[in-house]
Amino acid sequence: MTMEIYLDANATSPVLPAAIDAATAAMRDCFGNPSSSHAAGLRARALREAARAAARRVIGAPTGRVMFNSGATEGIQTAVLSALCAVRERRARGEACGELLLYGATEHKAVPESLAHWNRVLGTGLELRALPVDADGRHRLEILRELAPRAALVCTMAANNETGVVSDLAAIEGVLEDCASPALWMVDCVQALGKLPLDLGRSRIDYAPFSGHKLYAPKGIGMLYVREGAPYTPLMCGGGQEEGQRSGTENMAGIAAFGAVLEALERGDTFRTHAELLVCRERLVQALRAAFPDIAFNAPLAHALPTTLNFSVPGASSSDLLEIFDAAGVRVSAGSACSAAKAAPSHVLDAMGLPPGRSAAAVRLSFGPLVDDATIDAACAGIARCGRALALSVLAPSPLLGRPHGLVQLDAEGKTGWLLFDADARACIAIDPPAAQAARAAGMLRAGGYRLLAALHTGLDDAGAASLCRECGGAPGWPFAADAIAFGGERLGRVEHGAGNVYLFGAAQEPRFVFTGGCELWPELAQGGVRCGADSERPVAVSAAVPLGDEDMELDSEAALRLLEQYPDALVIDVRDLREHGAGEARLHGRPAHNLPLARLAEHSGHFLHGERRPLLFVCRSGARSLRAARVLRQLGRGQTWCLAGGLALMD
């Protein structure tokens, strides 16, 4: 098991031990309802008020409202609702109040989404306008100066969650003052708490939302500051808790925990200083530069929080890097956690004008002010492992696979393509390469010193083949005079089939692989060969086999242990990428796993069908790839094939 180094604090942080104790004590000893007038209620009320008093001191807000809620998303809704209700009232009184809802182009999505939502729901009909940022990610003040006189609400975060870029709030305030803007002003302070000095009461900031879980409190607790005199409309009505400002019985465990964090902040004895955090960041920067010599940092360190780094590595996608970091036990993220599931470019980096490729490949590394030197040491060692792993070519010879000679599967966006390699001739033939993988495939060929001999397509759609040709040269289609060529010591033949082509690879009468694209298999063509399709859900099939279903195929950790005890000779196979395996070898219940990347499974399926008889247990990071591997082999009729549900992630 690899030690976990958590460097994704901007997504959420672990909980401070003192906060856990405070929450436990609140649940166990101080469980009263703070609205009750008996002693148990009064004790809970005192606890809540102590937390609020600490909050006021920490954010510099002796006056105004400081109310506890579920987190920043709720705080943002409340602020936006309050501002828009005020706009309606002012308009009804015939007062000028601006017609723009102006928000920084790099705001967390919660801000523009809430603006659009409440503007629609309330029918306020204001115009949403993104305030551009410069290449450093800082607000374009000259544009703010132009727009602020017409703004009803201005939203500018204190520090960005993806890049750590710190806004120049004093300058923004200066502009709002200079042009006597009628705008209300919201500053999302989520990433600033505990990392930047806050003195809200001295500013003209009207609304400031916070989330406890970004600074060692649990999820589900946050707070909203509202300047004294700023318009306020409750989002939630009911029992009148929080003096009618936010109804609903309070999350007392959360408040107690957040209170413990705020008290620790105030005492100044728990978290590391700004200067110490800068040293930690610098050590990580050096480790990253050593591991990835071409690294580009996506935000100027001089203007960023000391706890956030955002970078791209040329030639590596963010999902490549994330998988390698995860395998090395280093938990980082691509852009913001909310959109991590989508490999989309980051709206933050796009707004800063970064090239789309660099934006889509960005990785965020963030830690909290509780970080210790041992974690930074371990992180630097993990980063060095990642650098070595990334340098391993996907096509590097591996103990199990040797030099690429045979078949590599390429998947993207539900499409599957194939690369055939001839190691001796250093040549490659692509069949239906997905367009989204063209750049990556070209990079693999370049790194391995292979030339592209042909980019074939089975059907009418040659977009992927054409993209690969743009990267590597040549034209899509069969470039050879004859209908069959010698390749890699075997034979690759083309057969016209319907409107497209089917390609057969192997011995003349007995093809090992039949590339059919999306078309139905011509049974007599397959002759026991493995059919390689173009649909990533079912990339491989064979006509001769009796497919087996998925019953009891996914095993949880305990079932996997029982299986390994029952079959001591079972093979544990790690289907992660070669580089992920290089960053951190996989073990299951103490058993080392052999690495066979999913992309090479089709090539080796014959071995598992006809040679290897031992039971197979596939594993990967999240369980998705091992599920596909096990399913493919079962569809090919291979019995005694299982996979680990939920992946190695659940074993840590």
Q: State how far the Cα of 619 lies from the Cα of 624, in Å rounded to an integer.
A: 9
Q: Smallest gap, in angstroms, from Cβ of residue 285 to ligand PLP?
A: 22
**Cβ-count burial 590-603 (b if 16+ within 10 Å, e if not):** ebebebbbbbbbbb
Choice between 104 and 584, CB closer to ligand PLP? 104
Q: Smallest gap, in angstroms, from Cβ of residue 207 to ligand PLP?
A: 13
Instruction: Find the binder of ligand PLP among 13, 73, 298, 366 (CB under 6 A).
Output: 73
Q: State how far the Cα of 203 lies from the Cα of 60, in Å rounded to an integer.
A: 10
Rounded alpha-carbon distances, angstroms, from residue 620 to 38, 339, 533, 647 = 55, 22, 23, 5
Q: DSSP characters for 620-634? A: -SSSHHHHHHHHHHH
Q: Smallest gap, in angstroms, from Cβ of residue 184 to ligand PLP?
A: 18
Choice between 72 and 176, CB closer to ligand PLP? 72
Run of H or E residues at 41:
helix 39-59
Q: Which stretch binds ligand PLP (CB under 6 A): 183-191, 545-553, 600-608, 631-639?
A: 183-191
Q: Which stretch binds ligand PLP (CB under 6 A): 21-29, 70-78, 320-328, 612-620?
A: 70-78
Instruction: Find the binder of ligand PLP among 23, 100, 110, 601 (CB under 6 A).
Output: 110
Choice between 217 and 295, CB closer to ligand PLP? 217
Q: How many residues bind ligand PLP (CB under 6 A)?
A: 12
Is 192 an interacting residue with respect to ligand PLP (CB under 6 A)?
no
Rounded alpha-carbon distances, angstroms, from residue 330 to 309, 372, 382, 383, 645 = 14, 15, 6, 8, 22
- Please name the residue that has the structure tokens 């709030």: 169
3-state helix, strand and coil shares in percent for the chain, rounded to the nearest 5: 40, 20, 40
Q: Smallest gap, in angstroms, from Cβ of residue 111 to ligand PLP?
A: 7
Q: Smallest gap, in angstroms, from Cβ of residue 188 to ligand PLP?
A: 5
Can you read off the two tokens belonging to residue 621?
């990071």
Q: Smallest gap, in angstroms, from Cβ of residue 169 to ligand PLP?
A: 14
Quote the radius of gyration of the chain (alpha carbons, Å).
Answer: 29
Q: State how far the Cα of 411 lies from the Cα of 419, in Å rounded to an integer.
A: 11
Asked if 335 contacts 379 with a C-beta cutoff of 8 angstroms, the reply is no
Is 188 an interacting residue with respect to ligand PLP (CB under 6 A)?
yes
Q: State how far the Cα of 404 lies from the Cα of 395, in Å rounded to an integer.
A: 6
Asked if 250 contacts 68 with a C-beta cutoff of 8 angstroms, the reply is yes
Instruction: Find the binder of ligand PLP among 45, 48, 56, 108 (CB under 6 A).
Output: 108
Choice between 241 and 366, CB closer to ligand PLP? 366
Is 316 an interacting residue with respect to ligand PLP (CB under 6 A)?
no
Q: Which stretch binds ligand PLP (CB under 6 A): 16-24, 57-65, 188-196, 542-550?
A: 188-196
Is 71 an interacting residue with respect to ligand PLP (CB under 6 A)?
yes
Pattern of binders to ligand PLP over 130-159, x per CB under 6 A?
A: ---------------------------x--
Choice between 74 and 432, CB closer to ligand PLP? 74
Catalytic member of 97, 189, 237, 338: 338
Residue 280 annotated among the catalytic residues of the structure: no
Choice between 216 and 642, CB closer to ligand PLP? 216
Positive or negative: CA dihedral 532, 533, 537, 542: negative
Residue of 390, 394, 476, 391 whose CA lies nearest to 429: 476
Choice between 73 and 641, CB closer to ligand PLP? 73
Q: Smallest gap, in angstroms, from Cβ of residue 213 to ligand PLP?
A: 6
Q: State how far the Cα of 55 lies from the Cα of 63, in Å rounded to an integer.
A: 12
Helices (H), 60-185: 72-92, 110-121, 141-147, 169-178
Q: State how far the Cα of 180 lies from the Cα of 295, in Å rounded to an integer.
A: 44
Q: Smallest gap, in angstroms, from Cβ of residue 229 to ligand PLP?
A: 25
Is 34 an interacting residue with respect to ligand PLP (CB under 6 A)?
no
Can you read off the two tokens belonging to residue 128?
């949403």
Is 191 an interacting residue with respect to ligand PLP (CB under 6 A)?
yes
Pattern of binders to ligand PLP over 199-228, x per CB under 6 A?
A: ------------x-x---------------
Is 72 an interacting residue with respect to ligand PLP (CB under 6 A)?
yes
> Strands across the sheet with 308-312, in order?
296-297, 308-312, 363-366
Instruction: Find the binder of ligand PLP among 190, 379, 430, 573 (CB under 6 A).
Output: 190
Is 437 an interacting residue with respect to ligand PLP (CB under 6 A)?
no
Q: Smallest gap, in angstroms, from Cβ of residue 338 to ligand PLP?
A: 6
Question: Helices 110-121 and 72-92 meet at what angle, rounded to 10?
Answer: 40
- Known catalytic residues are 338
Site residues (vs ligand PLP, CB under 6 A): 71-73, 108, 110, 157, 161, 188, 190-191, 211, 213
